[in-house]
């Protein structure tokens, strides 16, 4: 575990850095700091009365301090806070296994966990490593065993208003530590794999069949494997781990932003606790069934009131960074995460570049899905993700699913998607176009 002197130094450094970057503005008067009643309507005229319920990046969009700014007709309608309980089996696994989870030191200054077998490793994160525990809970948060997005829509917009879109097929599988009813804790044949994400481009036609596969392992110390399928070569090839900062082609999302907000190796990260907060979030969103930008409040691409009511959510606020020994050359100098206390899903992130300058605002607008045998859950693979790059006047939107197409979870998925080899191995990529 971190030595107390090192922890104090890290906290001091993070605090000083905050003063020069995404510093938290002092709350403005006009709203009860403990609550925000349903029926409240937030607009450009009154938003400053409610800024204490906003992540810093959202405040910056309202302030209009960057190219990307809130539309003049923005309207956030506040509804009741609805907490969907974590799945029964996931809670049971948490109660059974979390007492045996231990934190261990690693050479170079990192941390890892031992004896993890399922559920939340740290159901009540506390103590000197509280922020790192929250980050680890994000990594192991509940997601269905499998979700299939038949039409993942990704669109980008630049500072000239030009919009470009693509469509992907996405198959994500949790292969170990499963808790869903009727699903084996470890899928036969999965070996030491924890999670896989398979993505293949469907549109535009000139990029069709381009694909990638990301493999995470049960041992968090083991680096992810990333493979791509190149249609022109008709074969897959492994991607260097040094390419983690390379954005997904044409977009603002990197490999470490996958899995809806956090895909970095927890053993290579340190985290500082920035306290708890109540923030506005869209966690029961109903995205438009149309193609971007229809149904979005442009030019920002903000959710329109038709997407649903916003909720006041209790969040952990943490500052995650690469450990010093691995920080050189890494794209993000700082990742401020607003983590939902109910689901441990990131709801918003403020991202800095290597020089700790504001770079991107990253919002995750979650959709609620009724998972068979589990019930309604927010953290399920269906969401709209928005990236606003304030340095390069560029934005990206991922809508899963897009344009009203089917989205399957667990037993809903057609039998073809259950194929472990095709969707969870590098050799499976070579089956594309055959």
* Element of type H or E holding 11: helix 4-20
Does any domain span residue 268? Answer: yes
Does any domain span residue 157? Answer: yes
Which phi and psi angles does 8 have, rounded to 5°?
Answer: -60, -40
CA angle 301, 355, 57 (to 5 degrees): 30
Q: What is the pLDDT of residue 432?
A: 94
pTM for this structure?
0.91
> What pLDDT digit, counting tens, does each position of 328-353 carry?
999 999 999 999 999 999 999 999 99
Does any domain span residue 201? Answer: no
DSSP assignment of 19-34 equals HHSSPPPPPPSSS-TT
Q: How far apart are CA 232 and CA 226, in angstroms?
A: 19
Find out whether 165 and 37 touch, Cβ atoms under 8 Å: no
Report which DSSP code applies to 105.
Answer: E
Residues facing residue 170 across a β-bridge = 149, 199
Does any domain span residue 97? Answer: yes
Find out whether 137 and 344 touch, Cβ atoms under 8 Å: yes
Location of structure tokens 């997407």:
307
> What pLDDT digit, counting tens, does each position of 130-181 carry?
999 999 999 999 999 999 999 999 999 999 999 999 999 999 999 999 999 9
Query: Could you tell me which of 297, 317, 350 has the C-alpha nearest to residue 134?
Result: 317
**Into how many domains does the chain fold?**
1
Find out whether 361 and 335 touch, Cβ atoms under 8 Å: no
Say yes or no to pLDDT of 14 above 70. Answer: no
Find out whether 417 and 171 touch, Cβ atoms under 8 Å: yes
What is the mean predicted confidence (pLDDT) over 98-109?
Answer: 96
Say yes or no to pLDDT of 17 above 80. Answer: no
Query: DSSP alpha helices (H): ranges in 64-189?
Result: 88-97, 130-139
Find out whether 211 and 229 touch, Cβ atoms under 8 Å: yes
| pLDDT band at 241; cut points 50, 70, 90 | confident
User: Comparing 32 with 280, which gets the higher pLDDT?
Assistant: 280
Does any domain span residue 78? Answer: yes
Q: How far apart are CA 334 and CA 185, in angstroms?
A: 34
| pLDDT band at 32; cut points 50, 70, 90 | low
3-class secondary-structure state, position 133 = helix
Q: How far apart are CA 396 and CA 389, in angstroms?
A: 8
Does any domain span residue 288? Answer: yes
What is the b/e burial string over 137-169, where b = at least 16 CB atoms within 10 angstroms of the residue's CB? bbbbbbbbbbbbbbbbbbbbbeeeeebebbbbb
Say yes or no to pLDDT of 20 above 90. Answer: no
Q: Is 334 exposed, middle or buried (0-12, 13-18, 19+ CB in 10 A)?
A: buried
Q: How far apart are CA 124 and CA 108, in angstroms?
A: 27
DSSP assignment of 274-312 equals EEEEEEEE--S----SS-TTTTEETTTTEEPGGG--BEE
3-class secondary-structure state, position 62 = helix
Q: Which residues are within 8 A (CB) of 193 and not within 5 positions of it... i.e. 6 or more apart? A: 175, 176, 215, 216, 217, 218, 424
Q: How far apart are CA 116 and CA 109, in angstroms?
A: 21
Does any domain span residue 72? Answer: yes
Query: Could you tell me which of 73, 72, 71, 62 has the C-alpha nearest to residue 28?
Result: 62
Helix, strand, coil: what percent of the chain each, to 5? 20, 35, 45
Query: DSSP alpha helices (H): ranges in 106-218?
Result: 130-139
Chain mean pLDDT for the chain: 91
Q: How far apart are CA 41 and CA 47, in angstroms?
A: 9
> What pLDDT digit, counting tens, does each position of 283-294 carry?
999 999 999 999
> What pLDDT digit, counting tens, does each position of 342-386 carry?
999 999 999 999 999 999 999 999 999 999 999 999 999 999 999
The residue range of the domain holding 11 is 1-167+244-408
Does any domain span residue 259? Answer: yes
């Amino acid at each position: 575990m971190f030595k107390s002197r090192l922890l104090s130094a890290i906290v001091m450094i993070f605090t000083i850095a905050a003063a020069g970057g995404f510093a938290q503005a002092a709350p403005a008067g006009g709203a009860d700091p403990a609550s925000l009643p349903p029926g409240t309507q937030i607009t450009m005229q009154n938003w400053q009365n409610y800024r204490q319920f906003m992540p810093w990046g959202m405040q910056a969009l309202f302030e209009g301090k960057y190219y990307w700014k809130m539309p003049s007709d923005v309207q956030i309608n506040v509804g009741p806070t609805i907490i969907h309980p974590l799945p029964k089996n996931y809670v049971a696994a948490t109660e059974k296994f979390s007492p045996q989870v231990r934190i261990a030191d690693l050479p170079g200054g990192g941390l890892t966990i031992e004896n993890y077998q399922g559920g939340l490793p740290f159901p009540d994160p506390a103590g000197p490593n509280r922020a790192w525990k929250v980050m680890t809970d994000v990594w192991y948060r509940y997601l269905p065993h499998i979700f299939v997005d038949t039409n993942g829509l990704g669109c980008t917009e630049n500072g000239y208003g030009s919009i470009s879109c693509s469509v992907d097929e996405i198959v994500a599988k949790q292969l170990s530590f499963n808790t869903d009813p009727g699903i084996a804790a470890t899928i036969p044949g999965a070996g030491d794999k924890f999670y896989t994400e398979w993505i293949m481009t469907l549109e535009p036609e000139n990029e069709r069949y381009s694909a990638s596969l990301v493999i995470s392992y049960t041992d968090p110390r083991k680096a992810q494997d990333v493979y791509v399928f190149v249609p022109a070569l008709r074969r897959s090839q492994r991607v260097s781990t040094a390419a983690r900062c390379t954005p997904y082609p044409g977009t603002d999302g990197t490999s470490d932003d996958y899995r809806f907000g956090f895909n970095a190796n927890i053993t290579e990260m340190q985290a500082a606790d920035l306290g708890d907060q109540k923030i506005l979030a869209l966690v029961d969103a109903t995205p438009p069934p149309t193609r971007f930008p229809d149904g979005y409040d442009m030019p920002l691409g903000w959710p329109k009131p038709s997407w649903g009511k916003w909720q006041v959510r209790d969040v952990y606020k943490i500052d995650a960074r690469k450990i010093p020994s691995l920080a050189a050359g890494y794209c993000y100098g700082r990742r401020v995460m607003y983590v939902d206390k109910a689901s441990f899903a990131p709801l918003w992130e403020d991202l800095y570049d290597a020089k700790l300058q504001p770079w991107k605002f990253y919002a995750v607008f979650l959709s609620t899905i009724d998972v068979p045998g589990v019930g309604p859950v927010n953290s399920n693979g269906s969401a709209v993700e928005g990236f606003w790059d304030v340095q390069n006047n560029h934005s990206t939107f991922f809508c899963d699913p897009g344009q009203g197409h089917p989205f399957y979870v667990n037993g809903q998925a057609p039998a073809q998607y259950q194929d472990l080899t095709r969707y969870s191995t590098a050799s499976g990529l070579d089956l594309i176009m055959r």
